[in-house]
Amino acid sequence: MSWLYALRQGRWGIAGFSALAFVITLLNTIGFYRIAGNTPTERAAFARSITVLAGQFTVLLAPPFRADTVGGYVQFRVYGALAILVAVWAVAAAAGTRGDEERGLLEAVLATGVSRADAIASRFLAFAMGGVVVAAAAALGFVLGVDRTQDAIDAFSVLGASVLVAGIALACYSLALLVTQLVSARFAAAGAGIVLLALFLTNSLSRTIDALLTWRVLSPFYYYDRSQPLSPGGNFDVRATEVLFAIAVVGAVAATLAFAFRDLGSPIARLPVRAHPPVRDISHVPFWRAPIVRGLYDRRFGLVVWMAGFAALAALFVVLTKQIVQPLLAIAALRPYIDSVIKGDIYPSFLGILWFAFGQLLIAGYAITQVGRWSAEDGDGRLELVLSQPVSRRAVVLERALVLGLGALAIAAAGAVGVALEARSQAIVLDTGRLATASMLLVPFAGFFAAIGSLLAARVPRATVGVLGGFAFVTYFIDQLAPVFKWPAWVEDLSPFHLYGRPLTSGVDGTGLAIMVAVVLVGFVASALLLERRDVGA
């Protein structure tokens, strides 16, 4: 397999993530001049407010350094998020390699005489080139966005930031590639995602949980955060960057070895299959027979994992809220800024932003995985077989919507239970009704993405996941950037992240809820109509 072929396989990922990196960097760089002010005093005040803001996002982003400068602000606001962005891309790309294996593509490639090491090396090289392109796109966004009448661009700083982005992308990819060799293809994406999420949280939570300080050295994100090259006076930790690339190389070598030792189509270690007499009977589990229930039962393992993970993370975020808010309250100088940023009770406010902002991303991820499954069913012929049964296409869309809604409801309910139980043990007083409302609002929020995804799956099933993922990022940044650029309200209303509102502190935003419900209804009805008219299996 040549690296050019591997590059071709990943071209849409490279193009999409490069475009995202460019747009995000450009908009945030331009946005800095809109919101930071022009005088040193204004910028110092801006930096202090950013410090308070950073406290709410400490689980996602490293603390800012010199946020009064465009470099410091973009380093914090964009390059912190870029690490997450490229990690998501790395997981998708590594899982895609196992997907090629499932489809028999890799078998065909190996049959041509390409060695397994070459196959992995080609993928690695292609992803490395993609990483360079994404890093360059981000750098270009920054360079184009900087107002040169106010700030000079230090080429070495930009280069350093780009090297770091390429490094974290490669490190994440090689680790994801390694994990995908160890597990079955079915769990490749989930396994790689869980491992990278665990490594990410190990580093980010170590900012507030001391017990994790010794473990964070295992995380590539730790080495990424060690440098802040865009911030004036910020350092570029050469040693940490070397470790980042060393992780990439070691991970790739380990992945190659694992690939060499495992059977094609199998994980490196398999549980022995117990001998059993042949089964000739239909499954007696009654859940398979009932519409909707069969969909939930089919997804039962994934759903249980989502519920358990969501509840555990919810509880963890309650603990984090406590640990973040207490030190902030102890800094008297920050109090005026906290009061100006936070309205109402401080703990629910922080929890509302910390947990429910993260929970929105997670539940959006859940919706996207379900939509991904719908488009996969279209591609692998399962939809064709379903439609050969006496069910209408409308019924298929309706059943999908209800299965997703009930799944999201179960996950949101698990999260609410996690928050409620941990809040009680942390002595944080929460309005139970608002907690329930905030959690239940995650259902139409998930439905918003699912409806858009259903529409895409009905029209362009092969591009659905990529487009929907891009849509999620764009709408997330609409919510983030609309206040900065003072975009009109209707633009903000395009983002479900904005429509969700702040239900834990402010109650339900009726308009936002109405728009979300309308999008859900219109999206699913329109997708049913589109599916009616579309060829399946052609």
Partner 1 sequence: MTVPAIQTSRLTKDYGLGRGLFDLDLEIPQQQVFGFLGPNGAGKTTSIRCVMGMIRPTSGSAHVFGLDCLRDSVAVKRKVGYLPGDVPQFGGMRGNEVVAYFGGMRGGADPHRVRELAERFDLDLGRRFREYSSGNKQKLGILLAFMHSPPLLILDEPTGGLDPLNQQEFYRLVREVRDAGATVFLSSHILSEVEHVCDRVGIVRGGRLVRVAELDDLHRIRVHRVELEFADGAVIPERAIREADGVQDFVVDGRIVTCTVHGSFEPLMAALRGVPVTNLVSHEPSLEEFFLEYYREGDELAVRP
Q: Which residues bind partner 1 (CB under 8 A)?
A: 102, 186, 273, 276, 278-285, 288-291, 294, 298, 377, 380-382, 384-392, 533, 535-538
- Judged by beta carbon, residue 264 or residue 290, the one nearer partner 1 is 290
Task: Supply the DSSP symbol for 77.
Answer: I
Closest separation in Å from C-beta 263 to partner 1: 13
Task: Supply the DSSP symbol for 75.
Answer: I
Residues 6+ apart with CB under 8 A from 206: 212, 213, 215, 216, 222
Closest separation in Å from C-beta 275 to partner 1: 11
Closest separation in Å from C-beta 265 to partner 1: 8
- What H or E segment, with its residue span, contains residue 242? helix 238-261
Closest separation in Å from C-beta 125 to partner 1: 30
Closest separation in Å from C-beta 154 to partner 1: 51
Q: Where are the alpha helices (DSSP H) in 57-154?
A: 70-74, 80-102, 105-111, 116-145
Structure tokens at 508: 């339900």
Closest separation in Å from C-beta 302 to partner 1: 11
**CA-derived radius of gyration, the chain:** 24
Residue with tokens 């499932």: 102
Are the beta carbons of 303 and 411 closer than 8 angstroms? yes
Q: Is 498 left (phi over 0), alpha (psi -120 to 50) or beta?
A: alpha
- Judged by beta carbon, residue 48 or residue 534, the one nearer partner 1 is 534
Residue with tokens 């949980």: 209
Q: Please, what's the b/e burial string for 65-102 (b: 16 or more CB within 10 A of its CB; e: otherwise)?
A: bbbbbbbbbbbbbbbbbbbbbbbbbbbbbbbbbbbbbe
- Judged by beta carbon, residue 233 or residue 537, the one nearer partner 1 is 537
- Judged by beta carbon, residue 75 or residue 180, the one nearer partner 1 is 180
- Judged by beta carbon, residue 214 or residue 283, the one nearer partner 1 is 283
- Judged by beta carbon, residue 11 or residue 103, the one nearer partner 1 is 103
Are the beta carbons of 479 and 498 closer than 8 angstroms? yes
- Judged by beta carbon, residue 290 or residue 518, the one nearer partner 1 is 290
Closest separation in Å from C-beta 516 to partner 1: 31
- Judged by beta carbon, residue 257 or residue 406, the one nearer partner 1 is 406
Closest separation in Å from C-beta 402 to partner 1: 15
Residues 58, 50: Cα–Cα separation, whole Å: 12
